[in-house]
């Protein structure tokens, strides 16, 4: 890799060996920010959306976005929409069948509400959460064409990935445990990536205002680092009956997901 004038950083731009492929509003930004504290990891800070929106730009364009790494370091990128993109598994497999995949999941009902809350902050005139969730609420017909609902059907999306990658190459992070036990969840991520457990309890403190853990110091500076203001938003209040109906809807998908991955996320 030829160094550009003025860029004294050693190393080479490599295609990522690990990708955080999902899911939106699951905790992917936290996983990326936490893992990049590790000296053996270099991560792309922005979402390149290569395998869903920019695939026609080619692998060399994709590689050019990556941070420089030494031979001992792993390159990581994250784009949460990959998990629900039909073509993404095949495209990533054709780049490298050895790619390690990280999926951050959380209770699909909470995830949908978080997704809606984010959209509402940008488009205040959208219909109600309830209106978007159901085709017919009195009949309990959930609208699976709405993205916020569809994303949480994890078992369905996972099938596309398992056509190309064995389960051993996919690591599932609990979005809930990422909040209650960040060091424990990140310990498993480090094991999965085959790197030393460097990120431990001493890296985190709990921010009561935001309601989730923050880093005591970030990769780029010695200062504490919390996720941006868009993270930890107060969710919109939703009718408990609506939540109950959605729980019922997701239950069979959740059970199938637990059985497939061999892990109970206790969303019931």
CB atoms under 10 Å from CB of 81, counted, come to 18
Q: Is 157 annotated as a binding residue?
A: no
CB atoms under 10 Å from CB of 26, counted, come to 30
Place of tokens 């969303």: 267
Q: Is 260 annotated as a binding residue?
A: no
The secondary structure of residue 4, as a DSSP letter, is: P
Contact (Cβ atoms closer than 8 angstroms) between residue 42 and residue 75: yes
Q: Is 14 annotated as a binding residue?
A: no
Token pair for 92:
């990533």
Token pair for 133:
């969730």
Q: Is 235 annotated as a binding residue?
A: yes
Instruction: Name the percent of the chain in helix, strand, coil, to the closest 5.
Output: 40, 15, 45
Is residue 25 part of the annotated active site? The answer reads yes
Q: Is 140 annotated as a binding residue?
A: no
DSSP string for 180-203:
H-HHHHHHHHHHHHT------GGG
CB atoms under 10 Å from CB of 153, counted, come to 20
Q: Is 86 annotated as a binding residue?
A: no
Q: Which of 13, 24, 25, 196 is catalytic?
A: 25
For 99, residues 6+ apart whose C-beta sits below 8 A from its C-beta are 16, 17, 18, 19, 92, 93, 165, 169
Q: Is 229 annotated as a binding residue?
A: no
Instruction: Give phi and psi for 221, each to the nearest 5.
Output: -145, 170
Measured CA to CA, the distance from residue 88 to residue 153 in angstroms comes to 17
Q: Is 49 annotated as a binding residue?
A: no
Q: Is 25 annotated as a binding residue?
A: yes
Q: Of 176, 184, 180, whose CA–CA distance to 110 is shortest?
A: 176
Q: Is 106 annotated as a binding residue?
A: yes
The catalytic site residues sit at 25
Q: State the binding site for 3'-phosphoadenylyl sulfate.
A: 25-29, 106, 114, 231-235
Q: State the binding site.
A: 25-29, 106, 114, 231-235
């Amino acid at each position: 890799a030829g160094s550009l004038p003025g860029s004294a950083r050693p190393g080479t731009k490599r295609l990522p060996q690990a990708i955080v492929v999902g899911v939106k509003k699951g905790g992917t930004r936290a996983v990326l920010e936490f893992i990049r504290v590790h000296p053996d990891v270099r991560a792309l800070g922005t979402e390149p959306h290569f395998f869903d929106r920019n695939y026609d730009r080619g692998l060399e364009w994709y590689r050019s976005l990556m941070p420089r790494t030494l031979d001992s370091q792993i390159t990581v990128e994250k784009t949460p929409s990959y998990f629900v993109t039909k073509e993404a598994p095949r495209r990533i497999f054709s780049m490298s069948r050895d790619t390690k995949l990280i999926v951050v999941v959380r209770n699909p009902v909470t995830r949908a509400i978080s997704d809606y809350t984010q959209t509402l902050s940008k488009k205040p005139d959208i219909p109600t959460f309830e209106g978007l969730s159901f085709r017919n609420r009195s009949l309990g017909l959930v609208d699976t064409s709405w993205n916020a609902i569809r994303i949480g059907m994890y078992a369905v999306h996972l099938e596309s990935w398992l056509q190309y990658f064995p389960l051993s190459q996919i690591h599932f992070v609990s979005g809930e445990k990422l909040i209650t036990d960040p060091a424990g969840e990140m310990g498993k991520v480090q094991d999965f990536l085959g790197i030393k457990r460097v990120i431990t309890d001493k890296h985190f403190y709990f921010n009561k205002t935001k309601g989730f853990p923050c880093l005591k110091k970030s990769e780029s500076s010695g200062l504490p680092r919390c996720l941006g203001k868009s993270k930890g938003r107060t969710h919109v209040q939703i009718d408990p009956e609506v939540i109950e109906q959605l729980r019922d809807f997701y239950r069979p998908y959740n059970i199938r997901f637990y059985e497939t991955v061999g892990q109970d996320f206790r969303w019931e």
